[in-house]
A and B are shown apart, each in its own frame.
Chain A
Amino acid sequence: GAVVSQHPSRVICKSGTSVKIECRSLDFQATTMFWYRQFPKQSLMLMATSNEGSKATYEQGVEKDKFLINHASLTLSTLTVTSAHPEDSSFYICSARDLQGAGNQPQHFGDGTRLSIL
């Protein structure tokens, strides 16, 4: 089945550091990828929709200058948390849609990245 690889799985860094998270579709092409954030014991909140070759669409309340998204190819999207602070600590999950699939193909999710800012 379709696989989405997310890297790193866990990162711990100091406050003020910028952190990049990669999301790769391993065996399919994805024009659209999604980035979610999940706080402990809470649901997934959609942060932004990443479209290959164009600017990401951010959900209301998400700072686009804080969470930089790049989708330079059909198999890779990156999320960079700039100047991270402890309140940015969270579980970040990406997902991707299969370009070749039918319009009703579900998203394929990565295993998530646990970000901890000290």
Chain B
Amino acid sequence: AQSVTQPDIHITVSEGASLELRCNYSYGATPYLFWYVQSPGQGLQLLLKYFSGDTLVQGIKGFEAEFKRSQSSFNLRKPSVHWSDAAEYFCAVAESTGGFKTIFGAGTRLFVKA
């Protein structure tokens, strides 16, 4: 069965600094990978997704992620963090066959300090 690990429960970065959120997955076949962001009390917003092709994917709000099959990783990056980026970030993996069942990681809370 697929699984997703986000090793960092929370991360604090200074505004303007770079950011990297880690995500490791476990799935037997080619995974579909996603990053979502959730503000408190809100639903999910899709930042970016990887299905195939270029392993470096660009998303909204200046985020990007790189798929590394050898490391089973899909880390999220942003070169310069803004205070409005403070939120909860979820990595998710969906099976590429069957019903597209999606499993979420535990999430990483991002704090941005001035």
On A, residues with C-beta under 8 Å from B are 6, 32, 34, 36, 41-46, 49, 51, 57, 93, 95, 97, 103-104, 106-107, 109-112, 114
Number of A-B contacts (CB under 8 A): 54
If A104-B32, A112-B43 touch, does A46 touch B103 (CB 8 Å cutoff)? yes
Q: Which residue of chain A has its CB nearest to the CB of B97?
A: A103
15 A-B interface contacts by CB (under 8 A): A34-B101, A34-B102, A42-B107, A46-B101, A46-B102, A46-B103, A49-B99, A51-B99, A57-B99, A103-B96, A104-B52, A104-B96, A106-B32, A106-B34, A114-B41
CB distance from B31 to the nearest CB of A (A): 11
Whether A43 pairs with B43 at a CB distance below 8 angstroms is: no
Closest to A36 in B: B104
Enumerate chain A residues within 8 angstroms of B34, measured Cβ to Cβ.
Answer: 106
- Check A109–B101 contact: CB distance below 8 A: no
Q: How far is the CA of A21 from the CA of B44 in the complex (A)?
A: 18
A107–B107 touching, CB < 8 Å = no
B residues adjacent to A (C-beta < 8 A): 32, 34, 36, 41-44, 46, 49, 51-52, 90, 94, 96, 99-107, 109
- Given the known interface contacts A49-B99, A104-B96, A111-B42, the answer about A43 and B104 at a Cβ–Cβ threshold of 8 Å is yes
Q: How far is the CA of A63 from the CA of B30 in the complex (A)?
A: 31
- B-side contacts of A41, CB under 8 Å: 109
B51→A104 contact, CB < 8 A:
yes
Check if B42 sits within 8 Å of A43, measured CB to CB. Answer: no
**Considering only CB atoms, which chain B residue lies closest to A108 in the complex?**
B46
Distance to closest chain A CB from B53 (angstroms): 11
